[in-house]
A and B are shown apart, each in its own frame.
Chain A
Amino acid sequence: GQQVMQIPQYQHVQEGEDFTTYCNSSTTLSNIQWYKQRPGGHPVFLIQLVKSGEVKKQKRLTFQFGEAKKNSSLHITATQTTDVGTYFCAGPIIQGAQKLVFGQGTRLTINP
């Protein structure tokens, strides 16, 4: 079935290193959303991308939406300990009904 796949599942970096997580869909998405879940917390919306090839930045975070609108990435430059958490992508996909489908997330841990 149509899925949203995210890699890697886990990533451990030294503080100051960069980090990237990738999201892929088997079908074209009308939009892609990114969420962050801090340890012990709940997922919180970060951003939504809508246009083909769109790039958005939030301080050290850069979000990209692929030209075919099937993939997306989140890149963090010079990680800080506050970046620790799990990052999820989500897209509206038809699975029986059209609903928001989340990837499995990338769990980022950072060595200070």
Chain B
Amino acid sequence: GAGVSQSPSNKVTEKGKDVELRCDPISGHTALYWYRQSLGQGLEFLIYFQGNSAPDKSGLPSDRFSAERTGGSVSTLTIQRTQQEDSAVYLCASSLGQARAFFGQGTRLTVV
């Protein structure tokens, strides 16, 4: 596609529910990143994919968080049993190797 696409753009969920966030990277981009950003804060690294494998999952905050990438393309970030502290903007970025990263518009998650 023309850019990195994330869906949904906004998600409101009840505490304890599971949510799935989707990222559709730029076609051909081998690297895919997930970040979390709370209001006014920096980028909190969550996970990095190279192709379909995730050589770095060190940023996932707990075992409630998981992510997968299929076909070297679309990635899904799943948060189980959501908590209020999970509320944030979740950003996805893709790049070709270590070249410039392109970010999606983000998914704003609100847990009520």
Q: Give the B-binding residues of A (Cβ under 8 A).
A: 30-31, 33, 35, 42-45, 48, 86, 88, 90, 92, 95-105, 107
Task: Flag whether B50 is at the interface (Cβ < 8 A).
Answer: yes
The smallest beta-carbon distance between B31 and chain A, in angstroms, is 7
Contact A43 B56 (CB under 8 A): no
Q: Give the A-binding residues of B (Cβ under 8 A).
A: 31, 33, 35, 40, 42-43, 45, 48, 50, 55-56, 58, 91, 93, 95, 98-106
Residue of A92, A95, A102, A107 touching B98 (CB-CB under 8 A): A92
Query: With contacts A97-B48, A97-B56 known, is A42 near B104, CB below 8 A?
Result: yes
Residue of A48, A88, A100 touching B33 (CB-CB under 8 A): A100
Contact A97 B103 (CB under 8 A): no
Q: Which chain B residues lie closer than 8 Å to A102 at the CB level?
A: 35, 42-43, 45
Contact A45 B31 (CB under 8 A): no
Residue of A86, A97, A100 touching B95 (CB-CB under 8 A): A100
Closest chain B residue to A105 by CB distance? B42
Q: Which chain B residues lie closer than 8 Å to A30 at the CB level?
A: 98
A42 to B91, CA, bound (A): 8
